[in-house]
Structure 1
Amino acid sequence: MRDQNDRGVRTGRGIVLGAALLAAVTTGLVRYQTLLGAVHVALLYLLIVLLVSARYGRVAGMVMSGLAFLAFNFFFIPPYHTLAIGNPLDWLVLAVFLATALTAAQLLHRARRESALREAARVKDALLAGVSHDIRTPLTSIRAIAHEVAQDGDERGLVIEEESIRLTQFVEDMLDLSRLRVGGLVVASAINAADDVVGAALQRVAGIAGDREIVARVEGEPLLAGRFDFTHTLRVVANLLENAIKYSPRDAAVELAVRREGDRLLFVVADRGPGLPPGEEEAVFSAFYRPRHAVPDARSAGLGLALARGLAEVQQGALSYAPRPGGGSVFTLSLPAVDLHDSLSVL
């Protein structure tokens, strides 16, 4: 309530000061009433509207648009000193002026709001990065102590160690997501073989997969390669496989295929899970977002796909979703491809 009152007082002050400025400018212009063209008056009045909008907000700017419209008509549209209009074309002049003034006030308000949101997001990401960094040290200590307790035969130590590992991973994801947004994530792109990424990803998810079938294949050339950061790419592919395992039926295989299309190297992960409801195809890549049909899982914070897309884009790549024919999901990681024959000849 207090904020609303403060905004109201600020808007009122802006209207009063703007009206005073408008009156002063009008007094000066009236002396040259017959010499001034409509364009000169319109530009000066638009400047007043923009100044008031920039300083006191959209409402004050829109009120000033109305006042400037009336002053324009009364003092500078014949017959003077009346709101009547002799030339029908002057209606067009006034209508265009009013529409331009209102649009300018609205656009300026939107630009200021977007700028404020970007700044708030930047500060939030910087704060999250700092907090996440500071949390890692005590988590490491907790994990070490819990490990010692577990070795003494206390099962509670094992539980604490597992939970600390999960929390550490969450903090790492938060830290990397914040670094991505503020441009602080280190990327070391180099020529890497697709086979190496596939093998490492399968090893990483082996414990989660258990006896689940994962069908992996590299299509086309004997050795596909791309220019990317191996660690970041491995993280993305492993994340996609983990999601596919989580949401697929136990009797349905998860598929990982790698192929080249033009100058792009594609890692395609397909499953037979429920897929995404219409309209959630892009929302699923937002931080902390979980689909409406998501399997209840308190261990999932909804950061995986947001981080995966960020890691793809920072390597000049992309990550997209498509429904799978017959049911399920298809996630495609696209990265710059490299022709190994050309690369070796250059070397």
Structure 2
Amino acid sequence: IFVLTTAAMVAVRSRLDKAHVALLYLLLVLAASVAGGRGLGLILAGVAFLAFNWLFLQPYGTFAIADPLDWLVLVTFLVVGGVATQIVHLLRAETAEARQRTEEVDRLASLGARTLAHPRAADALTALAEMIRTTLSLRECRIRATADLVPADEIVPWVVQSRLAAARLVDGTVRLAETPEPDSLLGDAVSLWLPLSAGDAVVGVLELVADRPIALDQKRRRFLAALRYYAVLGVERVRLEAETANVAALQAAARLKDAVLASVSHDLRTPLTTIKAVAQAMAADGDERAETISVEADRLNRLVADLLDLSRLRAGGFPIRLELNPVDELIEAVLQRVAGILGNRRLVVSLPSDGPLVVGRFDLGQSIRALVNLVENASKYSPPDTPIELAVTVDGGDIVMAVMDRGRGVPETEQERIFEPFYRPADAPPDGGGAGLGLAIARWLAEAQGGTLRYEPREGGGSRFVLRLPAARLDHLQESL
């Protein structure tokens, strides 16, 4: 094309201006740069420079230049041709790099999506490690979660704690980096340990092991950085799967335990009734052991009832009847129920002395039971020569009933655990301490009625259990009447 264009211009050079020749040659130089790259463009610019001088500047057929201004034309043509060739080259390079990055991102996204789409998260991590191994030509590649690290490792725990990369060199020595990236470790490293970070926490370590020094160009570094991100997602997915499986197992175990408790508790009712009847017969015959048997049978019967109610509360099948009830009736019923439990212990009751009648919307029977459990708990865990106090106040829309004692109190670490079923403090009485169900049932009963139950340390020593139940507004009550 260059030769044909030159021949055509020579044929009509008498009618061509120098600018026309320069523009046509520049067009050919640009076309050559686009088609063949910078090298071809520069070569063609040089050839066009010589042809321009030889064929189109007088005297023709020599490199001598008669008009000094023609030097300006030639030099300008050569400079513009070279600059244009370089610009085209840079544009080609940027376009190629952008296309390459786009293809790389698409490929990584596709590979990552396919890898993480495995039904099992552990298989996804294995596939991801194999992808890194084959792409980087490694001997081994392992993705290890922090939970799977063994204490014998020396380097890996350091990587986790410091969140920095580490490497083993060809001579066997270990080099520690100053950043999480492996850039400063490349060249002599045959093993790399890279932290896998999620936010401020290190969730795992990526181990790369090669037979020769690991070399990563810019493209492979971008690839490794992207797959490290997918490795973090995979490790987190493994952790979430394990937590989900653990929660499911705990829920299944809880359901099984509740079913067993309900079944066993129900089956114990008949023999307990028989034992009670036998104890009464023994008492009629004057047997001194009858009272002990009767007391223990009553205690076991209460435990069985608690177990049955616990399983029903957990299953959501416990009946709650919310009705309008005066608080003084609730307290009077509680005093009657705890009379046998307290014996000679004093129970000091404090009720609002002025104001209207305090009425609440709660289940009377279950509220009695919750308060009885609290009073019984105070009796067990406080000195027998100290009184137990029951104070009733009104706080906004709640009736507040506080059961207080002068016992040891509850350590801060156990203030929530005491409401867990079957939990007993370390200082629980060996006999008569119960099975650890009273407080758990009391809290469940409170929450089932829209109330709360919490523990507070008592000023001066001791415990304060605060039961809050919804109060009823008297103006609404009068309107309904």
**TM-score, normalised relative to structure 2:** 0.58
Tell me which of 239, 247, 264 is aligned to 1:131. Answer: 264
Residues 91 and 253 (structure 1 numbering): CA distance in 2 closer, same or farther, change over 3 Å? same
Q: 1:40 to 1:275 in 2, by over 3 A?
A: same
Which SS does the other structure have where 2:389 is aligned?
strand
- Aligned equivalents of 1:123 and 1:212: distance in 2? 40
Q: Which residue number in structure 1 is paired with residue 228 of structure 2? A: 95
**Equivalent position amino acid for 1:224 in 2:** V
Q: Within 2, Cα distance between the matches of 1:344 and 1:321? A: 35
Q: State the shift of 1:175 in Å.
A: 0.8
1:86 partnered with 2:218: yes
- Alignment pair present for 1:275 and 2:409: yes
Using CA pairs below 8 Å that are at least 6 residues apart, which structure has the higher relative contact order?
A: 1
Question: Is 1:104 the counterpart of 2:237 in the alignment?
Answer: yes
Correspondence for 1:312: 446
Residue 147 (structure 1) shift = 0.9
The answer on whether the counterparts of 1:61 and 1:105 sit within 8 Å (CA) in structure 2 is no
Q: CA deviation at 1:34?
A: 7.2
2:129 counterpart of 1:66: yes
Hey, what's the Cα distance between the residues in 2 that align with 1:72 and 1:264? 67
* Counterpart among 108, 126, 139 of residue 38 in structure 1: 108
Task: Return closer, same or farther for 1:104/1:83 CA change in 2, 3 Å cut-off.
Answer: farther
After superposition, the Cα gap between the structure-2 partners of 1:134 and 1:61, relative to the gap in structure 1 and judged at 3 Å, is: farther
Q: Which residue of 266, 283, 292 maps to 2:400? A: 266
Partner of 1:291: 425
CA gap 1:163/1:91 in 2 versus in 1, 3 angstroms = same
Aligned alpha-carbon RMSD (Å): 2.3
Task: Determine helix, strand or coil for the equivalent of 1:268.
Answer: strand
1:191 partnered with 2:261: no
SS for the counterpart of 2:218 is coil
Q: How far off is 1:36 after superposition?
A: 4.2
1:28-57 per-residue CA deviation (whole Å, 9 max, x = no partner) reads: xxxxx8794322221111011xx124xxxx
Paired letter, 1:211: N
1:237 matched to 2:371? The reply is yes
Rate the CA distance shift 1:316–1:71 in 2: closer, same or farther, 3 A. farther
* C-alpha contact (below 8 Å) 1:215/1:253 kept by paired residues: yes
Query: Matched residues in 2 for 1:71 and 1:109: separation?
Result: 29
2:282 partner SS: helix
2:292 is aligned to 159
**Residue type of the partner of 2:406?**
R
| Of 47, 61, 74, the match for 2:117 | 47
- In 2, Cα distance between equivalents of 1:242 and 1:178: 21
Shift of 1:226: 1.7
Separation of aligned partners in 1, 2:400 and 2:444: 16
Contact 2:265/2:305 (<8 A) preserved: yes
C-alpha distance in 2, partners of 1:69/1:338? 68
**In the TM superposition, what is the alpha-carbon distance from 1:282 to its structure 2 partner?**
0.7
Aligned length, in residue pairs: 301
Percent identical pairs in the alignment equals 42
- How do residues 219-234 of structure 1 correspond to structure 2 at under 5 angstroms? 219=352, 221-234=355-368
Q: Secondary structure at the match of 2:423?
A: coil
Q: Distance in 2 between matches of 1:172 and 1:157?
A: 22
* CA apart distance, 1:149: 1.9
**Per-residue deviation, 1:211:** 3.0
Report the more deviating stretch, 85-94 or 283-292. Answer: 85-94
* C-alpha distance after superposition, 1:172-193 (max 9, x if no partner): 1111111111112111111111
SS in 2 for 1:205: helix
Larger Rg: 2
Quote the offset at 1:273 in angstroms: 0.8
Compare 222-231 and 62-71 and name the one that shifted more: 62-71
Q: Is the 8 A contact 2:125 2:231 kept in 1?
A: no
Output the TM-score relative to the length of structure 1.
0.80
